[in-house]
Amino acid sequence: MAAVPDRLDAARQRHDELSRTLHESNYRYHVLSDPPMSDAEYDALLRELIQLEDAYPALRTAVSPTQQVGAPRSTAFPEHRHLEPMLSLDNVFDREELAAWERRVERSLALVPRYVCELKVDGVAISLTYRRGVLAVAATRGDGVTGEDVTPQVRTIRNVPYRLATPDPPEVVEVRGEVCFPVDEFEAMNAERIERGEAAFANPRNAASGALRQKDPRITATRPLEVVCHGLGASEGIAFTAHSESLAWLRGVGLTVADETEVVADLDQIMDYVKRWTGQRHAPRYEIDGVVVKIDAFADRAELGTTARAPRWAVAYKLPPVEKETQLRGIQVNVGRTGKVTPFAVLEPVSVGGVTVAMATLHNDDQVAAKDVRPGDTVIVRRAGDVIPEVVGPVLAKRPPGLEPWRMPSHCPFCATELVRPDAEANTFCPNLDCPQRLWGALEHFASRGAMDIEGLGEETAKLLRDEGIVHSLADLYDLSEEQLLDLPGFAEKKARALLHSIEESKDRGLDRLLIGLNIRHVGPTVARTLARHFGSIDALMAASDEQIAAAPDIGPVIARSVADFLGDERNRRLIDRLKAAGVRTDVQRRQDGGLLGGWTVVLTGTLAGFTRDQAKEALEARGAKVTSSVSSRTNVVVAGEDPGTKLAKAEQLEVPVVDEAAFVTLLETGTLPGA
C-alpha cells in the first residue's frame, strides 16, 4: 500500500523542482532580460509540469507557473496597473494538439467560429494606453496585472504615434503589441557595435528587452525599435464586434499591424497558414517563433472566457527550431554581475535561420557534461524558439579521436579568485564582488532605482568608470571627486556635480536598499525588507548564524546560506567596512523628516502624477508612516491617484478617509489632512 504515497511524494518533489526552475526562468526572462534556458527547454519543462498536475490535481495551486503570467515586475521602474490583465498564451506543437483545442472551442460554443491567424512576433509584450487619442502610458506585461511604466522609453520608438490619427478618438483604449527589432536593422546595429569594439547582442528579443529597460530614454532612442500591435485590452468609447475589425481600426489610426494576418474558416486553413509560414519563417521583417490562432468574434470570446493564465479563445502554435552543423572552436566562460559563470561555445560562424551565429550559450558545466560537447567537435546549433542560439549536442560520428571533455576552470579568468559551486546548485560563481568583469553590471545594479537610486549612473557611465580605472569597487563611488569626473569624456561641471550629489544622497537609503544593491543571491526587495526589519542593522546580520538568519520570517535555509556566505567573505566585509566609513547608512532607520506621520498607516492606490509608487512610499516611510498594501480598520488614510483599484471601495466600506494627490502633498508637508 506504500506505493501510492511513494509515487505522490516523488511527484511532489519533482513538482517543487520544476516550479522553482520555471519561476526563476520567468523572472530572468521577463525582468532581467537574461533567459537561463532556451524557449524549447522552457516549453518542455512547462509541459512536464502541466502533465504532472493533470495526473495529481492536488499539486496545482494558484502560485504554480502553470497558473501565472510573466514575472513580478522589476523595481527599477514605476509600476502601472493594467486596466485589463495581460494574459499569456497556451501552446500547441502539432496538428493533433491544435485539433484538440479546436474541438474544445467548438464544443463549448456549439458552433464553428471564424478564426484569425497571426504571426507570433518574438519581442517584449507592451501595452499602450491612449487617453482621448494621446499616449498616456506604456507598460510591460509584468505579472499580467501590474507592469513596469516605460512611457519615456516607448515615446522614443519611431512607429509609436504620440497622437492617434483620428478626429474622434476613444476616451481610453489599451493597445497590446510587441516591442521588437526588425531583423535587418538588428543585423546592421550589431555590425556597427562590432566595428566600435563593443559586444554584439545575442538576439533581437534580448536586445529589445535591454533597450526598453534603459533608465535613460536617450539610450533607448539610439536603438531601432518598433512596436507591432496585435490587439486591444480595455477600451471606453469604442466598440467592435470582431478582432479583425479592431486590427483594421489600429492600422487606420497610425499603429503598425503585421500585414501577414489572415481570417480563416477551419483547421485545414489554419494548418495551411502554419505550413506556409514554417517554410517562409525568415521572410517577415521581424523574428517570429510561432503562429497565434484567435477566435475572431468578441461575443464568442466572451462566452469562452479565460483561465488564470491564458484566454481559452486563443492558442500559440510553436514552430520547430532551425538547426545547422558547424565546428565548436572552443568553450570560454563569462562572468555576470551576480558572479554567475556561464560557459559559451565559440563556433565557426554559421547562418542559422537567416542570422549568423558565432557564439551560443551552454548555460552551466552540468549542461556541457550532459551534452558531452568538446572543443573540436562538429556540433548541431539551433536557434531555439527560433531566437536564442544554443548547442544541441555533438555529431558523434564526426568526432576526431583524442578530444578531451571540457572542465570548468578552477579560478576566475578575470580576477583569479577561486570559483565556488554551492551545494545542490547547477551554477558556478565568482565570489569576488570586486571582480572587474562583474564590476560593470554590479555598479549599474547598485545605482538602480530599486537599490541605491543614484541618478545619472546608468549603463554607459558605469562602463566608463570601470574602463577608465577610476572605480575598482562599489565603495570607490563614495571617494569620487569632481576633478576625476571632469577628466572623463562627456562630463562637464554640471553633470559631474549632479552625479556627486546623487551619490551623496544615496548614503541615506537604508539597510534594505543596501542589501539589494550588494547583489546577494536570492535577495530581492521582499527578502531585503524582511532581513532589515528582523535584524535592524548590517552588523547584527553579519553576526547572525545560518540558523538565526533562516529563522527570520519567510527566509529559509537556502537564502540564509547565501546571505551568510556573502557576509562571511572577507572581501565583502572589507567592502561593507568601507561603505560604513564613507557614511552609508547600514541600519533600518533613515533620517526622519520630523517624524510627522509616526504611527500612521497609509495605503496607496492608483497612479500619482508627481510621484512613482516607490517615491510616495519612501516619502511616507521617511516621515514615520507605515505603508501597507491592503485597507483595514487600522488604516488612517488611503491616497488615491488615477485609476484606483478595489482598495477605494474597501476604504469607503470601512469609512477610511480617502484623499487625492494635492491632499497627499499637504499631508507630507504638515502631517495633517486638509480640513482636519
Active site amino acids? 120
Residues in CB range of 195: below 8 A, 6 or more apart:
none
Owner of C-alpha cell 527599477? 76
* 276 DSSP 8-state letter: H
Cα–Cα distance measured from residue 124 to residue 178, given in angstroms and rounded to the nearest whole number: 5
Asked if 513 contacts 452 with a C-beta cutoff of 8 angstroms, the reply is yes
Cα–Cα distance measured from residue 341 to residue 422, given in angstroms and rounded to the nearest whole number: 13
For residue 485, CA distances in Å to 438, 499, 584 come to: 22, 9, 21
Cα–Cα distance measured from residue 589 to residue 586, given in angstroms and rounded to the nearest whole number: 9
Work out whether strand 124-131 and strand 79-81 pair parallel, antiparallel, or are unpaired: unpaired
Cα–Cα distance measured from residue 615 to residue 641, given in angstroms and rounded to the nearest whole number: 14
| Closest of 141, 133, 152, 30 to residue 81, by C-alpha | 141
Cα–Cα distance measured from residue 21 to residue 17, given in angstroms and rounded to the nearest whole number: 6
C-alpha cell at 622: 521617511
Asked if 147 contacts 140 with a C-beta cutoff of 8 angstroms, the reply is yes
DSSP element (H, E) containing 522:
none
Asked if 415 contacts 437 with a C-beta cutoff of 8 angstroms, the reply is yes
C-alpha cell at 337: 554581475
The Cα angle at residue 270 between residues 265 and 272, in degrees rounded to 5: 115
The Cα angle at residue 61 between residues 12 and 298, in degrees rounded to 5: 135
- At residue 19, the 3 state secondary structure works out as helix
Cα–Cα distance measured from residue 582 to residue 585, given in angstroms and rounded to the nearest whole number: 9
For residue 30, CA distances in Å to 35, 72, 404, 418, 667 come to: 8, 8, 37, 31, 37
| Closest of 553, 480, 570, 474 to residue 519, by C-alpha | 474
Alpha helices, DSSP H, located in 372-476: 436-446, 459-467
Residue 580, strand partner residues: none
C-alpha cell at 462: 558605469
Determine the angle formed by the axes of helices 183-195 and 204-212, rounding to 10 degrees: 80
Q: What share of the chain is helix, strand, coil (3-state, %, to 5)?
A: 40, 20, 40
